[in-house]
Amino acid sequence: MVYRTKFYPRRGILITMIKSYLNNIEYFLPPIKENNASYLRSLGKDDKSIKKILGKIGIAKRHVSDSKTFSNDLAYKSAIKIFKKFDKRKINYMINCTQSPEYLIPTNACILQDRLNLKKNIGALDINLGCSGYIYLLSLAKGLISTKISDNVLLLTSDTYSKVIKDSDLSTKLIFSDASSSTIISNKKTKSSFEILNFEFGTDGSGYKDFICEDSGSRKLQNISNSKPNIKMNGSKIYEFTLNVIPKFLNNFLKRNRTSKDKFKYFFFHQASQLVLDSLQKKIGIDKEKMVVNLNETGNTVSSSIPIILKEKLNKIKKGDHILLCGFGVGLSWGACVLKKT
């Protein structure tokens, strides 16, 4: 167990907190792949149009779940992978991030506790967030560790957006993939640990209708019909929000932490689309080789996108390197944090 001490001169307070470490990451993608080019051809699109669309979104293939596979099934698969490296008996808290719960009541987390055969004397809860969800999970885990509530926290992300997307809505159909991830946050570091450092968050609920699944939840239960709920995304509004808010947010985050873009080895942004990532890279002024992109064969996996690209890049990050993670989207919600390779 390692401690971090911080002095607040204005208050004359010296605070000692237990350090938190990200020690393991795994993810799972359902085996069924859908080819965007093939789908567009089935709609009568010509090769020129297909090339333009795919160049804009940067996604060739997406992973989708079959009719009998749901978010908990995906979360279970990634958790089983991480338990090959970490003793699940040491877990004393679990947080699951999903916007595709199997039921309104109870939570996915409670069901997963039993299915994963975890101890009964643990905390287990869900949070409902999308593209910023992983950043929020890390902050909650750090809080649990630093206050000695937990020694080892299991973080899960799992979504099956494919079940709430209309085939005719190309703004969502061609982008989103189903996926899950699992992460272990602990108070003890290993040879491959990242220390979890500073956070910053933002929320603007006035934009909630720009990315919404209206025909769901208790507000719509009185109007139950045989039609399935569908996601509605105002792509231009979400793009406008991202380009107007995230660059300023990150620049202010860096200033408050008395650091600069040059300090970071890599930037791990939520994998929204190629257009969004390219636009952010140019507007913020990030070197292209520092911008991690992994969309082509994976798609936009919502809350799983950051842990997936982080897992894929682990071998390229060396001791002492700082990396920045940033999620943004549905809510509207956004957040960022800094990790340091120990």
Residue 324 in any domain: the answer is yes
**Are 146 and 64 found together in one domain?**
yes
Measured in degrees and rounded to the nearest 5, phi and psi for residue 272 equal: -75, -60
Contact 279, 243 (CB under 8 A): yes
- The Cα 33–Cα 23 span in angstroms is 30
pLDDT at position 222? 55
**Are 199 and 186 found together in one domain?**
no
Best CA proximity match to 342, nearest among 317, 327, 322, 320: 320
pLDDT of residue 12 exceeding 90, the answer is: no
**Are 40 and 159 found together in one domain?**
yes
What mean pLDDT is reported for the chain? 92
Q: What is the CATH number of the domain that holds 223?
A: 3.40.47.10
Residue 13 in any domain: the answer is no
Q: How far is CA 272 from the centre of its chain?
A: 11
**Are 156 and 27 found together in one domain?**
yes
Q: Kindly state the average pLDDT of the residues 215-234.
A: 69
**Are 257 and 304 found together in one domain?**
yes
pLDDT at position 223? 56
Residue 86 is classified by DSSP as: S
pLDDT at position 10? 61
pLDDT of residue 8 exceeding 60, the answer is: no
pLDDT digits 0-9 by tens, 13-47:
656 679 999 999 999 999 999 999 999 999 999 99
pLDDT of residue 314 exceeding 70, the answer is: yes
pLDDT > 70 fraction of the chain, expressed in percent and rounded: 92
pLDDT at position 9? 60
Q: How many CB atoms lie within 10 A of CB 124?
A: 22
**Are 111 and 98 found together in one domain?**
yes
- The Cα 165–Cα 173 span in angstroms is 6
pLDDT digits 0-9 by tens, 74-107:
999 999 999 999 999 999 999 999 999 999 889 9
pLDDT digits 0-9 by tens, 290-301:
999 999 999 999
Contact 230, 60 (CB under 8 A): no
CA dihedral 87, 118, 183, 60 (to 10 degrees): 120
pTM of the shown model: 0.92
Residue 9 in any domain: the answer is no
Point out the domain boundary residue: 161, 191, 221: 191
Contact 258, 292 (CB under 8 A): no
Q: Roughly what angle, to the nearest 10 degrees, separates helices 71-82 and 108-115?
A: 50
pLDDT at position 39? 94
Best CA proximity match to 339, nearest among 257, 250, 264, 278: 264
Best CA proximity match to 179, nearest among 20, 294, 36: 294
Residue 19 is classified by DSSP as: -
pLDDT digits 0-9 by tens, 237-286:
999 999 999 999 999 999 998 999 999 999 999 999 999 999 999 999 99
User: What ranges in 191-304 are assigned the alpha helix state H?
Assistant: 235-256, 274-284
Best CA proximity match to 176, nearest among 293, 56, 59, 300: 300
Q: Which residues share a beta bridge with 18?
A: 3
pLDDT digits 0-9 by tens, 233-250:
888 899 999 999 999 999
pLDDT at position 227? 62
Confidence of residue 215 (pLDDT cuts 50, 70, 90): confident
Q: Kindly state the average pLDDT of the residues 165-192.
A: 93
Confidence of residue 213 (pLDDT cuts 50, 70, 90): confident
Candidate from 6-20, 40-54, 127-141 with smallest mean pLDDT: 6-20
pLDDT at position 35? 96
Confidence of residue 199 (pLDDT cuts 50, 70, 90): very high
Confidence of residue 2 (pLDDT cuts 50, 70, 90): low
**Are 137 and 233 found together in one domain?**
no
pLDDT digits 0-9 by tens, 106-131:
999 999 999 999 999 999 999 999 99
pLDDT at position 221? 62
Point out the domain boundary residue: 143, 160, 191: 191
Domain of residue 214, residue span: 195-341
Best CA proximity match to 49, nearest among 36, 35, 62: 36
**Are 180 and 209 found together in one domain?**
no
Cβ within 8 Å of residue 324, ≥6 positions away: 250, 264, 266, 267, 268, 336, 337, 338, 339
pLDDT at position 225? 56
pLDDT at position 234? 85
Per the structure, the count of domains in the chain is 2
